[in-house]
Structure 1
Amino acid sequence: MKPANTKEDVVPKVSNSSTLEEVEEEQLYAGPLKIEQLLAKGFVKRDLELLKEGGLQTVECVAYAPMRTLCAIKGISEQKAEKLKKACKELCNSGFCNAIDYHDARQNLIKFTTGSKQLDSLLKGGIETGGITELFGEFRTGKSQLCHTLAITCQLPIEQSGGEGKCLWIDTEGTFRPERIVAIAKRYGLHPTDCLNNIAYAKAYNCDHQTELLIDASAMMADARFALLIV
């Protein structure tokens, strides 16, 4: 996934001599490391293609994947899998860190509003990026409505308590309604067409199809800034 998870991630650090073009060429926010970085570690494009075919789109995905998952990819030997994991762990620094550093990172996590001040207060600021938030309740208690609202608020700028990213929606119950998106976008003074364009939608017809969609989603989130995934 490629949403910026901390407030510091979205603040460009530009020297006086930097041009706008130079800044745009660099990533102004932190996110998953693209798997292409493995090329600098001695791996070839074919290795990257095999990993992507296996649903592993980022350095982190490879670093945290079980060995059996890597070895199950056709064309990846056990020896190659070990080298891949070692290289990826070096790139993403997946070892221990000081608790104070982790505390500082937690303090800078981006949270975007639910659209309700009372609910934001209960959640201590809103929906937290980089984590899982589960909504559950009886039929017709507002779960789908809240998801539609979040699909808009995640697009708002950081300074407006937004996530400043796109939304990816995998519909398992057929509850997505673009008309609601249009209405909520107008409520926040946003252009409905732009908001709809920033939502990637797919309907999952069964568990296997949902798994396939999640693999496709990982590729999309590795290439663009998404702040929210709704399933």
Structure 2
Amino acid sequence: MAERKGLEDLPGVGPATAEKLKEAGYGSIEAIAVSSSSELAGVADIGESTAQKIINAARQAADVGGFETGDLVLERRKLVGKISFGSRALDDLMDGGIETQAISEFYGEFGSGKTQVGHQMAVNVQLPKEEGGLGGSVVIIDTENTFRPERITQMVMGLASMKGVEYDPGEFLKNIHVAKAYNSNHQILLVDTASELANKLKDTDKPVRLLIVDSLTAHFRAEYVGRGTLADRQQKLNKHMHDLMKFSNLYNAAILVTNQVMSKPDAFFGDPTKPIGGHIVGHTATFRLYLRKSKGEKRIARLVDSPNLPEGEAIFSVTMEGIKD
């Protein structure tokens, strides 16, 4: 749609406004169609009523924003792809893997396997559909300097030996786009940058099908200390989560976020750890999985929240070659 109509074709968008919108990450008509008038007015220095007119025109051009009948929603659900974990137990728990057009949150203590799952998915998403991938590339927003290309190489070699085929780890690494986030504002901005990249790659043979944020809450937790800052933190976290959801719908991509836990020493029954971010993260994430350590390489994943799947647990292993049963 964006190729047939440029931003300048929208009423009220001249070359100068179009330039400002592109610089702010609104490079396509679809991106404008799903934004709010206050957001657009702020970045393009225009009035809110003008911004609303631009958004309305973009919605018509991109054909989004109206009511739909259930059968059309079902058709769109058929476009949802799944990325396999490479572990039968995890795939069964998640009905085939993590979904596109959804946010999957993995939370747990240090060493529970969150980053390992992220690395594995960055490899698996590149496999063809018949092998459990989506034939796409991946964007990683790395907030804690945890991305390791050497780990990707190990996982690719592990896959190659398991399947008895030859894979070039270099080719896999070429389709992984990593950006380090230096603080929470930078982290939020990087979703816009990821949108520009996804827009650029959407008609290539490796469109962006996965966006990973590892970890979602580390910067927010470090920068907003004390009760007085909680409202500001939650507001920013809310915007960030909605930007991620918007990205997943626009590009039919899966969003994988990792989250840390805080200890609740007063919890006498059940698990004393709960994820950071409170209801904001809990309500916006589509799937929530709690990871915890077991003996040796073994890890336990518990599906805590899902719109359509039953709660359950899966045992998997984190090995040198990657994630296995």
Shorter-chain TM range is 0.7 to 0.9
Match of 1:50 among 9, 20, 28: 20
Deviations 1:146-202 (A, max 9, x none): 110000011111122211111111111221111010111122332111111111111
Which residue number in structure 2 is paired with residue 226 of structure 1?
208
Match of 2:88 among 117, 121, 129: 117
CA separation of 1:140 and 1:49: change in aligned 2, threshold 3 A: same
* 8 A Cα contact 2:143 2:180, kept in partner: yes
CA separation of 1:107 and 1:214: change in aligned 2, threshold 3 A: closer
Residue 154 of structure 2 aligns with an amino acid whose one-letter code is A
Measured on the aligned residues, the alpha-carbon RMSD in Å equals 2.0
Deviation at 1:124, TM superposition (A): 0.7
* 8 A Cα contact 2:143 2:181, kept in partner: yes
Which residue number in structure 2 is paired with residue 38 of structure 1?
7
Give the SS at the match of 2:140.
strand
Match of 1:192 among 160, 166, 169: 169
Deviations 1:98-139 (A, max 9, x none): 101212322341111111111111111111012111001122
Match of 2:60 among 90, 98, 107: 90
The separation in 1 between residues aligned to 2:69 and 2:200, in whole angstroms, is 30
Deviation at 1:33, TM superposition (A): 4.2
Q: Which runs of 5+ in 2 are unaligned?
A: 161-166, 202-206, 214-325
Residue 181 of structure 1 aligns with an amino acid whose one-letter code is I
Which residue number in structure 2 is paired with residue 216 of structure 1?
193
Which residue number in structure 2 is paired with residue 148 of structure 1?
119
The separation in 2 between residues aligned to 1:160 and 1:217, in whole angstroms, is 26
* 8 A Cα contact 1:163 1:227, kept in partner: yes
Which residue number in structure 2 is paired with residue 138 of structure 1?
109
Deviation at 1:41, TM superposition (A): 4.1
Identity fraction in percent: 37
Deviation at 1:92, TM superposition (A): 2.3
* 8 A Cα contact 2:7 2:28, kept in partner: no
* 8 A Cα contact 1:112 1:128, kept in partner: yes
**TM, length-normalised to structure 1:** 0.79
CA separation of 1:217 and 1:36: change in aligned 2, threshold 3 A: farther
Give the SS at the match of 1:175.
coil
- Alignment: residue pair count: 200
**TM, length-normalised to structure 2:** 0.57
- Structure richer in helix, relative to its length: 1
| Greater Rg over alpha carbons, structure | 2
* 8 A Cα contact 2:10 2:54, kept in partner: no
The separation in 2 between residues aligned to 1:179 and 1:207, in whole angstroms, is 27
* 8 A Cα contact 1:172 1:205, kept in partner: yes
- Structure richer in strand, relative to its length: 2
Which residue number in structure 2 is paired with residue 19 of structure 1?
none
The separation in 1 between residues aligned to 2:106 and 2:82, in whole angstroms, is 16
